[in-house]
Amino acid sequence: MNRSNPFRFDLRNGIRFIAKKFLVLPLLVSLVCFEFMLRLRETASLNHQYAGAQPTLGDFAMYLFGGMKPYIPNPDEPFLFPVSWFLVFGICLFLTLYYPVYDRDTFGKMVIVYSGSRTKWWTAKCAWIIVATFLYFFLCWILLIINCLLYGGQFTLSVSPYMSDIFLLRETVPPDQWNVCHVLLLMPPLITSSFGILQMLLTLWFRPIICFLISAILMLASAYFCVPVLILNYAFCIRSNEILVDGFSFPSGIVYALALSLLCMFIGRHRFRNFDLY
């Protein structure tokens, strides 16, 4: 391996570092898909127009990445945190958190010497987080496809009207106008990779576990407060304006994710130049 090329070094060693941890994904995705089928049967039993409804790949994906509808504080409606959504995104953030810190404290010092640039090392780690995050969600999609086939679902990314009942939505765009393929495919990895870079930036000041706790608090805040400044709201696919009348815009989510990533990369590059490695 040519250590003068930090990204090639990370691509091999970084993926190897987290590969075994990916084994948790089949169990997680399968459990969420099983829960979705139970919810679908319950919904169909309460609403006979959905009797015999055949789930789609888009339905499985929406249940996995959808999160929860906007929460309006109400004493008669308790706040129910979306556990499966938290696990999917939280596990990804946790998986991409430790390798940059581990490499920085071990082999990274030699890589910096070989490459002759701390900026190259930092940029390579940012690129690695993006690649690892997209790989994580690619594997999620593979597992969703497998579960969809096992449950006899339709191989289409369209989202069925009964999903509004499962998520208890009220003011929605007419179901025949739902077009969420781009939201389901791009928003989860884009938003998560930007937060992964933010986590890595924070490790220049704090211990990794503290950085993850900050991410967890922001996920909780995003579930409770439906405001654009908490950009994790854009990772709640059910809150997209493709489904909700006053939902979040897909282009705005891309702009915010890219802006956060570039800002963290810029700040981190300057911070890492003066970071004490010894």
Q: How remote is the C-alpha of 132 from its chain's centroid?
A: 12
Sign (positive or negative) of CA dihedral 109, 112, 118, 119: negative
CA distance readout (Å), 178 to 65, 82, 242, 244, 265: 16, 22, 6, 9, 35
Q: How remote is the C-alpha of 274 from its chain's centroid?
A: 31
Kindly state the average pLDDT of the residues 261-274.
Answer: 94
Q: What is the pLDDT of residues 171-225, one digit of tens each?
A: 899 888 899 999 999 999 999 999 999 999 999 999 999 999 999 999 999 999 9
Residues 6+ apart with CB under 8 A from 201: 264, 267, 268, 271
Q: What is the pLDDT of residues 21-71, one digit of tens each?
A: 999 999 999 999 999 999 999 999 988 888 888 999 999 999 999 999 999
Would you say residue 5 has pLDDT above 90? no
Across the chain, mean pLDDT equals: 92
Region of poorest pLDDT, from 18-27, 76-85, 244-253: 76-85
Residue 1: which pLDDT band, with cuts at 50, 70 and 90? very low
Give the Cβ contact number of residue 30 at 10 Å. 15
Q: What does the alpha-carbon distance between residue 3 and residue 213 come to, in Å, rounded to a whole number?
A: 33
Q: What does the alpha-carbon distance between residue 231 and residue 105 come to, in Å, rounded to a whole number?
A: 31
Judge if pTM exceeds 0.85.
yes
Q: What is the pLDDT of residues 119-146, one digit of tens each?
A: 989 999 999 999 999 999 999 999 999 9
Q: 61 and 32 in contact (C-beta within 8 Å)?
A: no
